[in-house]
Amino acid sequence: MKTFEKLLLENKAWAQDKTTVDPGFFERLADIQKPEVLWIGCSDSRVPSEIIVNAQPGEMFVHRNIANQMITTDFNSLSVLQYAVDVLKVSHVIVCGHYNCGGVRASLKRQNPGLLMVNKWLKHLKDVYRLHQSELESLGSENDRVHRLVELNVIEQIYNLAHTSIIQSAWKKEQRPSLHGWVYGLDNGIIKELISLPPGSEINPIYQYSD
């Protein structure tokens, strides 16, 4: 059996299992989604967002890209954020990175001449590296630097979120959402909390939107 055929077969089995346990499962979900969480994660196949937090369909609005970045000139990320915050009215935005991230590891190397688009995406990670260059270069091994840059990148993405007009406006008008920066361990399956910014958190004035 080919890989894609197996996926289609597994899908039928999954849908059957769901309706066996709860006959109205899909009918209820077909009408409306009311997720309380926006999840921004890495595209890495080993970090499947819903599976690692045991979430069911309808519970999380999900955006994934290489190295779980919130790039504020990227229409994809911004559209997801705006829809989640302004229409779905999520209470929490989670950025979940993971240790040993291939994107983060690649960003510590020279640019790959064969991957012109990916280089541009990883350029933002190089900027995070440069922001914390002295701390990162004081670490002994490449693995230690990747490990720490994974964490610093998650924290940076939380600040990128807080610096958007979308988040600041929702904080002011509706006192939500909370922002959470997490990191997932590929080797133990456990998520660690790195940073949490509740609504109204202090923001550097140069990033504040004034009325």
What is d(CA 147, CA 44) in angstroms, rounded to the nearest whole number? 16
The gap from C-alpha 33 to its chain's centroid, in whole angstroms, comes to 19
Q: Which CB, 85 or 124, lies closer to Co ion?
A: 124
What is d(CA 12, CA 17) in angstroms, rounded to the nearest whole number? 9
Is position 101 annotated as part of the catalytic site? Answer: yes
Is position 98 annotated as part of the catalytic site? Answer: yes
CB 2, min distance to Co ion, A: 27
Q: What's at 206, amino acid-wise?
A: I
CB 28, min distance to Co ion, A: 33
Q: Which CB, 103 or 199, lies closer to Co ion?
A: 103
The single residue of 44, 63, 96, 124 carrying the catalytic annotation is: 44
Is position 44 annotated as part of the catalytic site? Answer: yes
Q: Which CB, 101 or 166, lies closer to Co ion?
A: 101
Establish if 101 lies at the interface with Co ion (CB under 5 A): yes
The single residue of 63, 96, 98, 124 carrying the catalytic annotation is: 98
CB 151, min distance to Co ion, A: 13
Percent helix, percent strand, percent coil in the chain, to nearest 5: 50, 15, 35
What is d(CA 55, CA 42) in angstroms, rounded to the nearest whole number? 17
Between vectors from CA 89 to CA 85 and to CA 94, what angle results, nearest 5°?
Answer: 60
- List residues near Co ion by CB under 5 A: 42, 44, 101, 103
Q: Which residues are tagged catalytic?
A: 42, 44, 46, 98, 101
